[in-house]
Structure 1
Amino acid sequence: MRSFLAKRKLAPRRRWGQNFLINRGAREKLISHLEIVPGQKIWEIGAGLGAMSEMILDRGAQLTVFEIDSAYCDWLNEYLRGREICVLEGDVMKNWRAQRDKHKIDRILGNLPYNVASATISALIENRCLTPINIFVVQEEMCERIISKPGLKTYSSFSVLCQTGAIINDIGRLSPGSFYPRPRVNSRMILMRPAEPYGRIEDPAQFRLLVRTSFSSRRKILSNCLDRLDSLTKFPTKESVKEAFHAEKINLRQRPEAISPGQWVTLSNRIAKS
């Protein structure tokens, strides 16, 4: 890997979190979980040198890859010339909407750097862009945030968003040696399927605003969050919101991290109807 990159005058860039998955067994596991059917349209976020891309194409899929580094885009276009692949240079967050509007997407695969993982996953959930199967490789700390339970330090508004918008499965740990260059932390493979495990959210925009505003000052109790909610035009009066908390038997002297994802959904739905 080192000699190949040197020959091509390529180098992993730390600012973009480029760590290539060199563990072939892990790549095969990821491909297996994608359950690819020939003809499917698949997005790959962060294709790098194209090892995963080639395996996806070998299974008869049509692939769109998002790669922020122009040098790797040049390599992918050369290496996979003539295959069913579209290489898009640039930040996935700036390109995905236009691509989504062009055609239906069947699968998403992403090896996501820590600094963009939460924003990417949040955008896909909030805009209802999750496909039937979505697989992400993320740092272990990010995985802990995604699947965290109420009361833990890792539980956040991001945890609530993920757990109310998808069924999440942790499908395995990857040690630093699975990557080049070696990161300093373990990574995990997660599989997400779009779902509403706690029921339909009546007003998704209001729900997200409720949760994020409440978590914006983690150490404050819920009663202190009411003032911030009262100042937002998306919400009814402070008294109406307070009544919704009481109706759901949520103690306003608790902190936001004590409230389960299901409770946030029922609370939000009650507020939406008030």
Structure 2
Amino acid sequence: MQQVRAKKALGQHFLTDLSIAERIAGTVIDYKGLPVLEVGPGMGVLTQFLLAQGHDLKVVELDGESVNYLQAAFPRLEGRIIAADFLRLDLDQVMGPGQWVVIGNYPYNISSQIFFKVLDYKDRVACCSGMLQREVAQRIAAGPGSKTYGILSVLLQAWYDIEYLFTVDENVFNPPPKVKSGVIKLVRNKVKHLDCDERLFKTVVKTSFGMRRKTLRNSLKSLFPSGSPELAASIFDQRPEQLGVDQFVELTRLLSQSRQ
């Protein structure tokens, strides 16, 4: 069977090490009772292990050449290959009611967007794992005080317990990427609602890290009414990378209070 040509425009780097693919598939082995959606299966190096584990599997693939390959190589996926852009899908419609799992060797050029999409379905996605460029994986898993800690870290950690699992070298891909890759796992935590306005929470986090070298008093003052006494609180003396999720919730509550 003819191999699929990796396309730079789609961020494709095909994993060739089967042992690594099996390890990645193993990150969701505890979720056999839930449907699984694989993003960007390519030539199915991860798909084969997910099928072998007995998952209720669907795959979404944008590349037409890969879709043709998957249809020929995996007859069991008949009716389960979604030829579409993951970022544009209505995942509720694709996956149906209840919770489900997302996994993939994610295209490098849209990996951050993929995780923001997962965040939009946080009450449906019980687990999300897979491989992406190491820098982004480390950023998602980073804790307060880290230089890589940022917007994606806070927004995802508000809803998920996150673990950086292992690093993957460049030489196990075709073509080899210019960066190392990292495998992470996100498991939905027990938080149902944040103790603040959740839309405003996102605004506070994004605005704070938009000027991460400044204190929060300087970066957030534009969001507060002029002369707000709340800005005198000591939390505003800190920089955004010093704060955990609970402290960003506190900031959001102070902002809501100032607007009353």
CA distance in 1, matches of 2:213, 2:69: 48
Aligned to 2:81: 87
Correspondent of 1:261 among 235, 245, 253: 245
TM-score by length of 2: 0.87
**Which segment is superposed worse, 73-82 or 149-158?**
149-158
Aligned to 1:135: 129
Aligned ranges 1:6-45 → 2 under 5 Å: 7-8=2-3, 10-36=4-30, 40-45=34-39
Unaligned stretches of 5+ residues in structure 2: none
CA contact (8 A) 2:29 2:53 kept: no
User: Residue 239 and residue 100 in structure 1: after superposition, are their counterparts in 2 closer, same or farther (change >3 A)?
Assistant: farther
**Which segment is superposed worse, 130-139 or 20-29?**
130-139
Correspondent of 1:187 among 181, 185, 189: 181
CA distance in 1, matches of 2:195, 2:134: 29
Aligned to 1:97: 91
Query: Could you say what the CA RMSD is over the residues aligned between the two structures, in angstroms?
Result: 2.6
1:164-194 C-alpha deviation (Å, 9 max, x unpaired) = 2210111111111222211122111101011
CA distance in 2, matches of 1:224, 1:38: 48
**Is residue 150 from structure 1 mapped to residue 134 from structure 2 by the alignment?**
no
1:67 Cα deviation after fit: 0.8
The 3-state SS of whatever aligns with 1:192 is: strand
User: Residue 196 and residue 218 in structure 1: after superposition, are their counterparts in 2 closer, same or farther (change >3 A)?
Assistant: farther
**Which segment is superposed worse, 212-221 or 125-134?**
125-134
1:71-105 C-alpha deviation (Å, 9 max, x unpaired) = 11111122212446511112101014353563334
User: Residue 85 and residue 38 in structure 1: after superposition, are their counterparts in 2 closer, same or farther (change >3 A)?
Assistant: farther
Unaligned stretches of 5+ residues in structure 1: 231-236
CA contact (8 A) 1:18 1:113 kept: yes
TM-score by length of 1: 0.83
1:225 Cα deviation after fit: 2.5
Paired residue type of 1:131: V
Aligned to 1:226: 220
Matched positions, count = 258
